[in-house]
Amino acid sequence: MCGIIGYIGHRPARDVLLGGLKRLEYRGYDSAGVAVAENGELVVVKNRGTVDALKKKMPLLKGTLGVGHTRWATHGMPSESNAHPHVDCHEKIAVVHNGIIDNYREIKDSLEKKGHFFRSETDTEVIPHLVEEHIAETGGTSLFEALKAATGELRGSYAIVAMRLGERRLVGARLDSPLILAVGDNEYFLASDVPAVLEHTDRVVYLQNGDIVEITDHGYRIEDSEGKDVTDERPLQIVDLSIEDAEKGGYPHFMLKEIFEQPHTIHSSLLGYPINGSPDPIFSGYYDSIKIVACGTSYHAGLVGKYILESLAKVPVTVEMASEYRYSPHPFGRPLVILVTQSGETADTVAAAREARLRGRKTVAITNVVGSSITREVDHTIYTRAGIEIGVAATKTFTAQVLAFYLLGIQVGLNRRTINPDESREVRDHLRTLPRVVQRILDRASEIEKKSDFFSTAKDVFFIGRGINYPVALEGALKMKEISYIHAEGYPAGELKHGPLALITEETPVVALVSPDRTHDKILGNIGEVSARGAPVLAIADEDDREIEKYVDEVIYIPHVHPLYSPIPNAVVLQLLAYYTARDRGCEIDKPRNLAKSVTVE
């Protein structure tokens, strides 16, 4: 998903463009760039990194005509040379583009034969050169006609905004990728998204597929794909959505939307290591153990990962908090180090990656953001492909990270020959059932909503689990803490009696994760311990567990899964419990107090 923006008016384009890009930035970024017409010259500034970083790099330009672009890569490496805007041979035409040009290679070859020289590897760059070629061939036609001709040769999807020195106008074209036109007071905007312009105007024209639009200081003109003037047929609409409503798609909070996206993100994550692919060579070679390094929710995913890797791949695993990793008094052995960070920018984890490299370790990152800082510090990256997560409390990225560990378990196991291809297919078949399992839990969200009354007056909540569900209990407590501000702690169920039991009273609800495996009877015992002290107990249990309701006050059932795969459905229940509890308390949810989405300080 990229964001593009163009501006023509009476204000410095630099500020309008940077502001608009910042609005689009939350959708993700790996690079950004801006081009402004300044004193007869085209000034292009590009940067790999955030819009703020670009802003620092940009001189204080006064030009009032320009285009900008922010990139969230889904394929391929981000770099300054590949960032937009792209220009033609003579640096007189600048273009920003969102989409994919399928036939760019043929176009590039033919233009190179005609003498054009290219600066990047992108498909976008063919566009300014095509425009340049059309202008040259026709002896100086307008930018509008030239872009129109150029788009005739393009196959693929695009939203394009182009500018040319010497012409006081911007021209845009749309096919499949979104592009809107916004009308201000003697100023006009083109953008991929309404939020980019909402702070300047609420008057918007939605362009249709095949449209070519031109904006000048005095107005705009739209032609359809057949060359007909359709300016009057594209109605000017008043947008009354606040910026955020437009993106939440009807959900009251991004976090809820992201929780409900999980069946879909699990589908995407399953494509991470294709079936039938040969074992990834990154996991061959010698390592005597695996060390997982992470912070926060990613750390909890790592703890679940430990159980998964030890079960599936039979390799010893240790898990460390990234902020502590560098203080290891005496690093030893030859571990493969796996660093987990959703944003890829978490300072502690990035520093740990550097430390691992200094120690000579082979490193792998699990992250959700293509081209993020962590990817430059490791030997290999696995992307969780969950899409952008806007809610500060991690939900879909947690389950995606856990899923990555299952897929990793198969890879490592195949490489070390601790599982055979048949067993790996069995694991896949179990994973395949997870989207439905999660969907069935989400379908009963209103039942879970009612159970959140359990916590309405609580000041302390305890989450307990055994085995693979112990880290899930930790994560449940973290979610509760983060968004409802209720103090919550997670413990291995067997640990309570070694101290924390002193805190248990009738006022402290306990959430128990009950799995139908060899931990089952033991955890019933632990539940007995706390209910004997008067604590209300809510159990999350397998739907086939007929006994559990006799021992607890409330039960939330999850569809039957093999216990090894229960962390993901259990986590979804815990996410919903935390969400509804926070909502009932009127908490901020998407932006909890004191927290930032990506912790870039150490």
Partner 1 sequence: MRPLTHSMPKVMLRVANRPILEYGIKALAKSGIRDIVMVVGYRRDQIMSYFEDGKKWGVRIRYVVEEKQMGTAHALYQAKDVVSDEFIVYPGDNILGEDSVSRFVKETKGSRGNAVLVVESSVPSKYGVVIARDEKVVGIEKKVEPGVGMIINTGVYHMDKDIFPEIERNMREGKYAIKDVLLDMARRNRYFRAVLAQGRWVDAVYPWDLIRANADVLEKFTGGKIGGVVSASARIDGPVIIGEGSVIRENCRITGPVVIGSGCEIGPGVVISPSTSIGDNVKIEPFVVIENSLIMEDATIGPFSRIQHSVVGRGVRFDGNLTTMVGDTYVEVEEKGGKTFVEAKRVGCVIGEDTNIGSNVVLLPGTIVGVGCEIVPVKRLSGRIEDGSNVL
Q: Is 157 in the site for partner 1 (CB under 8 A)?
A: no
Residue closer to partner 1 by CB (options 143, 179) is 179
Per DSSP (E only), the strands in 446-485 are 460-465
What is the C-alpha to C-alpha distance for residues 416 and 513, in angstroms, rounded to an integer?
A: 32
- The distance of closest approach from Cβ of residue 117 to partner 1 in the complex, given in angstroms and rounded to an integer, is 32
Strands 3-8 and 188-191: antiparallel
Active site residue 479: no
- One-letter amino acid identity for 39? N
List C-alpha distances in Å: 300 to 163, 293, 317, 350.
Answer: 49, 10, 14, 17
Of the candidates 535, 531, 493, 495, the one whose C-alpha atom is nearest the C-alpha of residue 514 is 493
Q: Is 74 in the site for partner 1 (CB under 8 A)?
A: no
Among 275, 358, 595, 596, binds partner 1 (CB under 8 A): 275
Question: By CB under 8 A, which span of 148-156, 246-254, 393-401, 492-500 interacts with partner 1?
Answer: 246-254
Q: Is 261 in the site for partner 1 (CB under 8 A)?
A: yes
- The distance of closest approach from Cβ of residue 100 to partner 1 in the complex, given in angstroms and rounded to an integer, is 12
Which tokens hold the place of 125? 């760059």
Asked if residues 98 and 66 have their Cβ atoms less than 8 Å apart, the reply is no
Q: How many CA atoms lie within 13 A of 105 on its CB side?
A: 1
Q: Is 436 in the site for partner 1 (CB under 8 A)?
A: yes
Residue closer to partner 1 by CB (options 54, 441) is 441
Q: Is 156 in the site for partner 1 (CB under 8 A)?
A: no
Size of the site for partner 1 (CB under 8 A): 37
Asked if residues 383 and 331 have their Cβ atoms less than 8 Å apart, the reply is no
Question: By CB under 8 A, which span of 266-274, 279-287, 509-517, 526-534 interacts with partner 1?
Answer: 266-274
- Residue 45: beta bridge partners? 34
Among 138, 186, 237, 284, binds partner 1 (CB under 8 A): 237
CA dihedral 184, 189, 192, 198 (to 10 degrees): -30
CA 197 to chain centre: 23
Among 41, 121, 241, 284, binds partner 1 (CB under 8 A): 241
Q: Is the peptide bond before 85 cis (omega within 30 degrees of 0)?
A: yes
**Contact set for partner 1, span 438-457 (CB under 8 A):** 439-440, 442-443
What is the C-alpha to C-alpha distance for residues 206 and 187, in angstroms, rounded to an integer?
A: 17
- Residue 140: beta bridge partners? none
Per-residue contact string for residues 480-519; x = within reach of partner 1 by CB under 8 A: ----------------------------------------
List C-alpha distances in Å: 546 to 190, 522, 524.
Answer: 60, 16, 13
Residue closer to partner 1 by CB (options 179, 472) is 179
Q: Is 253 in the site for partner 1 (CB under 8 A)?
A: no
Per-residue contact string for residues 555-584; x = within reach of partner 1 by CB under 8 A: ----x-------------------------
Which tokens hold the place of 560? 């039957």
Count Cβ neighbours within 10 Å for each residue of 348-380 and write b for 16 or more, e otherwise: bbbbbbebbeebebbbbbbbbbbbbbbbebbee
Asked if residues 205 and 183 have their Cβ atoms less than 8 Å apart, the reply is yes
Residue closer to partner 1 by CB (options 323, 439) is 439
Question: Residues 314, 497, 591, 597: which is the catalytic one?
Answer: 597
Is residue 162 within a helix (H) or strand (E), and if so which, with residue range? strand 156-164
Q: Is 429 in the site for partner 1 (CB under 8 A)?
A: yes
What is the C-alpha to C-alpha distance for residues 286 and 96, in angstroms, rounded to an integer?
A: 46
Q: Is 435 in the site for partner 1 (CB under 8 A)?
A: yes
Strands 537-542 and 554-558: parallel
Which tokens hold the place of 491? 């413990």
- The distance of closest approach from Cβ of residue 92 to partner 1 in the complex, given in angstroms and rounded to an integer, is 32
- The distance of closest approach from Cβ of residue 198 to partner 1 in the complex, given in angstroms and rounded to an integer, is 12
Residue closer to partner 1 by CB (options 94, 558) is 558
Among 23, 86, 97, 257, binds partner 1 (CB under 8 A): 257
- The distance of closest approach from Cβ of residue 272 to partner 1 in the complex, given in angstroms and rounded to an integer, is 9
Per-residue contact string for residues 389-428; x = within reach of partner 1 by CB under 8 A: ---------------------------------------x
Among 110, 120, 142, 208, binds partner 1 (CB under 8 A): 208
Q: Is 225 in the site for partner 1 (CB under 8 A)?
A: no
Question: By CB under 8 A, which span of 202-210, 333-341, 364-372, 565-573 interacts with partner 1?
Answer: 202-210
Active site residue 451: no
Angle at 354 between CA 350 and CA 357, to 5 degrees: 140
Among 178, 316, 492, 494, binds partner 1 (CB under 8 A): 178
Question: By CB under 8 A, which span of 52-60, 218-226, 265-273, 355-363 interacts with partner 1?
Answer: 265-273
Among 247, 348, 355, 590, binds partner 1 (CB under 8 A): 247
- The distance of closest approach from Cβ of residue 430 to partner 1 in the complex, given in angstroms and rounded to an integer, is 11
Among 40, 227, 235, 360, binds partner 1 (CB under 8 A): 235
DSSP, res 378: S
Angle of helix 296-313 relative to helix 396-416, nearest 10 degrees, comes to 30
- Residue 261, helix vs strand vs coil: coil
Of the candidates 242, 259, 179, the one whose C-alpha atom is nearest the C-alpha of residue 212 is 179
Strands 335-341 and 289-294: parallel
For the chain, the C-alpha Rg in angstroms (whole number) is: 27
- The distance of closest approach from Cβ of residue 54 to partner 1 in the complex, given in angstroms and rounded to an integer, is 25
Give residues in contact with partner 1 (CB under 8 A). Answer: 178, 193, 206-209, 233, 235, 237, 239, 241, 246-247, 249-251, 257, 260-261, 264, 267, 270-271, 274-276, 428-429, 432-433, 435-436, 439-440, 442-443, 559
Catalytic residues: 2, 597
